[in-house]
Amino acid sequence: MTPRLFLKLFLICLALNSANGQDSFYSQLADSALTLTQQAVHYDPAYFTIAYPNGDVPNDKGVCTDVVIRAYRKLGIDLQKEVHEDMLQHFDSYPKLWGLSRPDKNIDHRRVPNLMCFFAKFGEQKEITNNPSDYEPGDLVCWNLGGSITHIGIVSRKQSADKTRHLIIHNIGQGQVLEDCLFRYRIIGHYRYEK
């Protein structure tokens, strides 16, 4: 059986389990993100003017935040709209790192510090630990890559070869991938969010 066929069968089984109420929202989020790894995407941090609501950058482009945005969108949650609406009401509570004087629906949801602020306000802010079992499928993890460079990914249901930790679905420059990188960088945020 080819890996692609295995993944298709795996996702069909997950969909059937979800239909029977056997999967939590967070497992569904992890699986939604996993399907994105089958889509060829080139890392592209360029500014795009996009539709609103439910706007997205071109399908073959994206960054780490786009993995999170697309995974949630598959479950009917539009982070572009959610973040923008909150920023319209509470702009001063969001980071001021880009010199903007008002929200920008094209880019605000695509910035890790803004997502961290949003998830801290409306989701569950989980403890940052060095214990891999504290990071569950569907969790959102944010890292500092050095200096002011931040990154975000989704904890998958797949495990590392030694079965000690879950793999991460993210885009750090090589497209939307599944990778064993939970503790590779300094973790600065750990969240769960279900609308």
Domain residue limits at 65: 24-192
d(C-alpha 132, C-alpha 121), whole Å: 24
In a domain, 2, yes or no: no
Q: Which runs of E-coded beta strand occur in 54-182?
A: 61-62, 124-125, 140-146, 149-159, 166-170, 177-179
In a domain, 17, yes or no: no
Contact between 81 and 125 under an 8 Å Cβ cutoff? The reply is no
d(C-alpha 111, C-alpha 37), whole Å: 21
In a domain, 1, yes or no: no
pLDDT in tens, 124-158: 999 999 999 999 999 999 999 999 999 999 999 99
Average pLDDT over every residue of 163-189? 98
The number of folded domains in the chain is 1
In a domain, 15, yes or no: no
pLDDT surpassing 90 at residue 13: no
Q: What is the pLDDT, as a whole number, of residue 15?
A: 53
CATH number for the domain that contains residue 37: 3.90.1720
3-state SS class at 119: helix
In a domain, 91, yes or no: yes
In a domain, 51, yes or no: yes
% of the chain beyond a pLDDT of 70: 89
In a domain, 32, yes or no: yes
Q: What is the pTM of this model?
A: 0.88
Which own/partner contact pairs does 98-106 have at CB distance under 8 Å and 24+ positions apart? Answer: 105/50, 105/52, 105/55, 105/80, 106/47, 106/48, 106/49, 106/50, 106/52, 106/55
In a domain, 90, yes or no: yes
3-state SS class at 133: helix
What average pLDDT does the chain have?
92
